[in-house]
Structure 1
């Protein structure tokens, strides 16, 4: 039975069940449980903020948000967020979901590591990022009760070394395409794991451009 926290549950629909099955079969248990917690934290944040959102679309955005870290969906050229967004888009298109809803989910995933923007957008976009920020960064930790946090973690456990494990998972999913971390918080992951990593510099790109001045 799905965890129910003050009425927040995984949507009871065929689409949601297929999302759960696909993500569980594709991602590691670490990422699957992380994504599940992101949904609960995101949905609870929506309740606390009084936002109206489609739980099914939020569930899709949360569950697919790290699919770009998996071998099955990782490209050589795109940010992992875009790879995950594309995977969600393909899944939703195959289920006849409207283009508007597909675009909403796509954007929620593509922007989830771009702080300072999603919070001002549609609730689905804002709440995917809110869920990620809570589970990974602990932002707004005190805004959730002990009972809420403990219930979610009991249903979808954090590994004993989750903080280090998730950093490693990020690294393993993006290390083959370091150029995609330009202007992205994931550059910090590569620098943490590889002291020789030299991130692109915005000012350097400007000065090296073909413009004469």
Structure 2
């Protein structure tokens, strides 16, 4: 990853799942959240995933995106790798 890509990647990991927060002192986290309120970040972040993926669920195969749909979309069932192999259009 280039530096810009890495910074974005790690920033998203920190925002979404708290990656690296354990390396900050508690008062640093308090200072950051005082300056940048998270509001309903968790709900809004996951809602954005659902809204972007609900009409194209097949694109979630093999990704963590399937976790989001499985949690929020009633009846969503991820396709397994076994099903993909068995359903491949090859003869026997």
What TM-score does the superposition give when structure 1 sets the normalisation length? 0.39
Correspondence 1:128 to 2:25: no
Return structure 1 stretches of 4+ with deviation > 3 angstroms. Answer: none
**Residue among 120, 133, 141 paired with 2:21:** 141
- Separation in 1, partners of 2:3, 2:25: 22
**Aligned partners of 1:154, 1:180: CA distance in 2, in Å?**
37
Give deviations 1:69-114, integer Å, cap 9, x for gaps.
Answer: xxxxxxxxxxxxxxxxxxxxxxxxxxxxxxxxxxxxxxxxxxxxxx
**Structure 2 residue aligned with 1:157:** 37
Please state how far the C-alpha of 1:199 moved relative to its aligned partner.
1.4
Aligned length: 92
Q: Distance in 2 between matches of 1:149 and 1:172?
A: 30
> Partners in 1 of 2:54 and 2:28 — Cα distance?
35
- Identify which of 181, 184, 194 aligns with 2:63: 184
Deviation at 1:172, TM superposition (A): 1.9
CA RMSD in angstroms comes to 1.9
Instruction: Note if 1:168 corresponds to 2:47.
Output: yes
Q: Tell me, in whole angstroms, the C-alpha distance in 2 between the residues paired with 1:131 and 1:141.
A: 11
Distance 1:197 1:138 in 2: 27
Provide the C-alpha distance between the structure 2 equivalents of 1:142 and 1:187, rounded to a whole number of angstroms.
Answer: 27
Where do 5+ consecutive residues of structure 1 fail to align?
1-120
Alignment of 1:193 onto 2:57:
no
Q: Which has the higher contact order (CA 8 A, sep 6+)?
A: 1
> How many angstroms does 1:124 deviate by?
2.4
Structure 2, unmatched stretches of 5+, are none
Q: Superposition pairs for residues 19-30 of structure 1, below 5 Å?
A: none
Secondary structure of the structure 2 residue equivalent to 1:200: coil
